[in-house]
Amino acid sequence: MRRLMALIIGGALAATASSYAQAQQNVTVADRTALALTIYGNGLALVKDRRRAELPIGINELSLSGVSPQMIADSLELGFSKPVRLLSRTLRPANLNPRSLLEAHIGKTVELIRTHPETGVEMSIAATPISVANGVIARIGTKLVTNPAGRWAFPAIPDHLRAKAALVVGLESAAAGQHDIDIRYLSGGLSWRAAYTANWDRRARTLKLAAWAALQNSTAMHFDAARVSLVAGQVRRVSSPRRAMPDRALRMKLQAEMEDSSGAVAVREALAGYHLYELPQTLTLRPGEEAQAALMTPFAVNVRRELVSESHPAVFSRVRGGAKQPSHPAIRLSFENPKSDTAQPLPAGTVRLYGPDSSGAQQFLGEDRVGDIPIGDDVKLNAGKAFDVRVFRHQSDFRRQDRNKFEAAYEIVLVNGGTKVETVKIVEAVPGDWRLMDSDQPHTRENNQAVWRITVPAKGKAGFTYRVAVRN
């Protein structure tokens, strides 16, 4: 009786395995009906891939090729348009290479192609790989040859070797016919950054800003005609497992996410404390490429130019030779991210500044990095140093009253070698609790720093002195 039951169970298992094997099929990128990417700035992306497959009733095994080799496996979610029961899912990496091909043909006769050194004529000989453990050992005729010269030629790619990563899914289908399969997962290897061009019209005191998104694909996967959304802000990542979304809910959500949109530039929406920019056009991201897309419509803002010379708290110490230390003030441009119906937050990125020379031709003036800028916030750009203006700081006195108190006196001289009057903002970063005892020019206190605004005539100089008492 036990033997009979074992035979029955074994037969049932064999029948199941047979039906399982018979129902195997490849679902390639040719079966894809939609592709969408949500790309974050930290090398992470959410891939949303919809494919169509014809499935019979019963047990099926699908090989979904063309998935990212940098997929985070436990982030995978699958949705189906018809009732199915998931049995298994396995991410099989790309494993096709010269060594794996040789390993797959150990003990089998294949071709070794050699080129005659004098005639250049190619000839093919039969060879049998024996081992690839430490170099290649092959049998050619009656002899064993190590690392034989030539190129190996194989009749076909073995079934277990893959040029691209594949997601293998085992499932039981309750309905026959066409199924829409929604695949969603997180992947490394995709990132983006914002890049701005700023054209400065000094006469009109305006900046014309254009924002671009630079998208990088460092995976080995080709993302063709993908709808792309970009997230500004750093998402928090933890290692805890994620709860899978029900199939029907996932399918409906992905369908909504993959709907087409229109417009000339990215459409922004708020997303749980972040900002999501949806690009209007589909993009193709090839391996190793960087693609660029317009992030928003160029816009003009009123800009303020200021020359700023800032000291370091370390200068408030004992006199060191009394030498004058010249420096050039920074050129600082500031503007407000305007408040309007069409205004958008500006993602962090690099701003490259351009301006016209005397002939009107645009020249590169410098670049600066800005952080995330909400609507209504001020933006400050450092555009290099003012060549014609120099600032000399000279410590004329230093007196220590006790361990925690001292007085220091300074003379500041500004020299303008240019042909235009310049106003320089002098910022003295006095350490500790301080009180200005004397100054021959009016000052203000800003962020606990002493600030003077000094006008310097063209081809001339100006200056002032001050004394400060400091308690550390």
CATH of domain 304-329+386-471: 2.60.40.1180
> Is the pLDDT score of 112 beyond 70?
yes
- The pLDDT assigned to 384 comes to 86
> Is the pLDDT score of 95 beyond 50?
yes
pLDDT tier for residue 194 given thresholds of 50, 70 and 90: very high
pLDDT digits (tens, 9 = 90+) for 359-411: 888 899 888 998 888 888 888 998 889 999 999 988 888 888 888 888 889 99
Give me the mean pLDDT over the 171-197 stretch: 93
> Is the pLDDT score of 463 beyond 90?
yes
> Is the pLDDT score of 155 beyond 50?
yes
- The pLDDT assigned to 265 comes to 52
Pair 110, 127: CB distance under 8 Å: yes
Q: Which pair of structure tokens corresponds to residue 108?
A: 């089998």
Give me the mean pLDDT over the 201-205 stretch: 87
* Cα 46 versus chain centre, distance: 13
Average pLDDT value over all residues in the chain: 83
pLDDT digits (tens, 9 = 90+) for 305-340: 999 999 877 666 665 544 466 899 999 999 998 887
Element of type H or E holding 204: none
- The pLDDT assigned to 7 comes to 39
> Is the pLDDT score of 2 beyond 80?
no
pLDDT digits (tens, 9 = 90+) for 293-302: 998 888 899 9
- Say if residue 198 is exposed, middle or buried (CB neighbours under 10 Å; 0-12, 13-18, 19+): buried
Buried (b) or exposed (e) across 352-383, using 16+ Cβ within 10 A? ebbbeeeeeeeeebbbbebebbeeeeebebbb
- The pLDDT assigned to 69 comes to 86
> Is the pLDDT score of 236 beyond 80?
no
- The pLDDT assigned to 237 comes to 57
Question: Pick the residue with more confidence: 172 or 360?
Answer: 172
> Is the pLDDT score of 15 beyond 50?
no
The structural domains of the chain, with segments of one domain joined by +, span 98-153, 304-329+386-471
End-to-end CA distance of the chain: 95
- The pLDDT assigned to 9 comes to 37
> Is the pLDDT score of 242 beyond 60?
no
- The pLDDT assigned to 12 comes to 41
- DSSP3 helix / strand / coil % (the chain, rounded to 5): 10, 55, 35
How many residues can be counted in the chain?
Answer: 472
Helix (H, G, I), strand (E, B) or coil at 285: strand
pLDDT tier for residue 17 given thresholds of 50, 70 and 90: very low
Whole-model pTM above 0.75? no
pLDDT digits (tens, 9 = 90+) for 32-83: 999 999 999 888 999 999 999 999 999 999 988 889 989 998 899 999 999 9
Q: Give dist(CA 98, CA 178) in Å, integer.
A: 38
> Is the pLDDT score of 351 beyond 90?
yes
- The pLDDT assigned to 273 comes to 57
Determine phi and psi for 93, rounding to 5 degrees: -75, 165
What are the angstrom distances between the C-alpha of 346 and each of 333, 337, 349, 370? 16, 8, 9, 9
Q: Which residue, 424, 353, 347, is CA-closest to 391? A: 424
Structural Rg of the chain based on CA atoms: 35
> Is the pLDDT score of 20 beyond 90?
no
